[in-house]
Structure 1
């Protein structure tokens, strides 16, 4: 009897999740029947167990955010981002930095990228603090409601565990070697399904309990303003930068002209001497002839 039921169960196993539920009903009905229960009563109990009770469930939200910042000191801003993560008991799971061409020191960083995992209850506060660490370039958030998926996974895990316990009870009562082999095969399949459901449940728990925030920090370019140089100071800095650029252009021009100065002076001096000699020669009057006594 047990072997024939498992044969029918195996024939319908390729039909998907509905067939899997039918297999579970066949095996569990067999276990309950062997315990002396009537088939109608077993079917009624299985229907009640499969129907989730109506209850108020907490919303499960997956929140993700991204913040783009601009700062003159990337290393300092990166430290401030780390402080925000520590403030909300978060952690930095990924970090990438790029050094400038001048040097590899902390103050020479040109770009930094950090991935934070922050408790979901502090997601909004952490985003606000991160936006204030430097000049905000861009900020975005995304929220996905997975409450239905979380509840469905919990129900499936519960039903899978109940089904496995019943199959184990049936395995303990089996006597024929064929029955034992068939029941053990079914038990292994359902335990694999349960492990898959548990992995999905753990992934959902991780995504809903911790929010992911990606922070990109770029170094401000010449003339760019930051929180350390607001208003007048930013304009003053831009003016000094423009003056420096003009001075560099003037220095280049002088450098190109200076080698020609000695040549121009020599030529000019020679021309001046010639002109002066000609003027001196032309200015001397011719001698008048002597008058007779």
Structure 2
């Protein structure tokens, strides 16, 4: 009897233990699910030996079509000399001079230079001889979308012209030929216009323009720190003082010259009358004295 009770107790204990383990596993599983824990995924590039992930550059990011232009304003004592130097700089870079207007104290000219050499040309033009920089402006315009649009329209227009030419080859009657030729002329004209736009855009991208203005100014005075010591310095100072004194003396003589035309004759006349009186007056005798 006791043996049966013992066996029943052991069996009940085993059942309770198995139930507790099952509940623990279910609770742990439900806890993990409620917390949203996902299985760990190995990450690349986090360790010292892992390969770093590099984002490649966007396609066409560096292939932009840029139209560049600049404006410069300079002052110089000799305008013509600066204009000649500016021409030489433009021609030396493979460019050329466009519209130009030069006077004694003012000059304006347009220069065309390769776009990739524009910055160097601006630096040279800003330090021409004794000129001084007054203003420097740089303008850059992105014409990539215009170039892409014109190229697409060109492709479409070329295909259209090719189709019309094919129809012209198949035309048999005079009326059909005249109608197709008129349409072909219209489409070829539109094609030429697009080609001119494409060439103009290509030219503005390849060559940059510089609008240069040069104004004349007086030469700067001598430096105050110039050395005037020594014999030559003293000689120069004395000569300068002599010229100043001589100029002042001539100025005074010029101012009193009109008065001398009257004073000198009157003075001479007075002296002559006085002399005549002395000659005609009788000399006193000894008895009278």
TM-score of the pair, normalised by structure 1? 0.56
Q: 2:102 aligns with which of 97, 100, 105?
A: 97
**Counterpart for residue 123 of structure 1:** 118
**Counterpart for residue 91 of structure 2:** 86
Deviations 1:75-122 (CA, angstroms, capped at 9, x unpaired): 222222122112211111222222xxxxxxxxxx33332221111111
Deviations 1:232-264 (CA, angstroms, capped at 9, x unpaired): 479x9xxxxxxx999978865652233325655
Deviations 1:122-175 (CA, angstroms, capped at 9, x unpaired): 112111111111112222232222221111111111111112112222332344
1:76 matched to 2:81? The reply is: yes
SS at match of 1:152: helix
| Distance of aligned partners of 1:141 and 1:261 in 2 relative to their CA distance in 1, 3 Å threshold | farther
Q: 2:170 aligns with which of 162, 170, 173?
A: 173
- Say whether the 8 Å CA contact 2:80–2:102 is kept in structure 1: no
Deviations 1:56-90 (CA, angstroms, capped at 9, x unpaired): 27322222222222222222222221221122111
| Distance of aligned partners of 1:250 and 1:193 in 2 relative to their CA distance in 1, 3 Å threshold | farther
In structure 1, C-alpha distance between the alignment counterparts of 2:87 and 2:244, rounded to whole Å: 37
Offset, 1:176: 4.9
Where structure 2 has 5 or more consecutive residues not aligned to the other structure, the ranges are 1-57, 229-242, 272-289
Where structure 1 has 5 or more consecutive residues not aligned to the other structure, the ranges are 1-53, 99-108, 237-243, 273-293
| Distance of aligned partners of 1:179 and 1:270 in 2 relative to their CA distance in 1, 3 Å threshold | closer
Aligned residue pairs: how many?
206
Q: 2:198 aligns with which of 201, 222, 231?
A: 201
Deviations 1:11-48 (CA, angstroms, capped at 9, x unpaired): xxxxxxxxxxxxxxxxxxxxxxxxxxxxxxxxxxxxxx
In structure 1, C-alpha distance between the alignment counterparts of 2:168 and 2:224, rounded to whole Å: 83
Q: 2:149 aligns with which of 127, 145, 152?
A: 152
Offset, 1:187: 1.8
Q: 1:67 aligns with which of 68, 72, 90?
A: 72
| Distance of aligned partners of 1:171 and 1:214 in 2 relative to their CA distance in 1, 3 Å threshold | same
SS at match of 1:59: coil
| Distance of aligned partners of 1:265 and 1:132 in 2 relative to their CA distance in 1, 3 Å threshold | same
1:142 matched to 2:146? The reply is: no
**Matching of residues 1-293 of structure 1 within 5 Å:** 56=60, 58-98=63-103, 109-133=104-128, 134-221=131-218, 224-225=219-220, 231-232=223-224, 252=251, 254-261=253-260, 263=262
TM-score of the pair, normalised by structure 2? 0.57
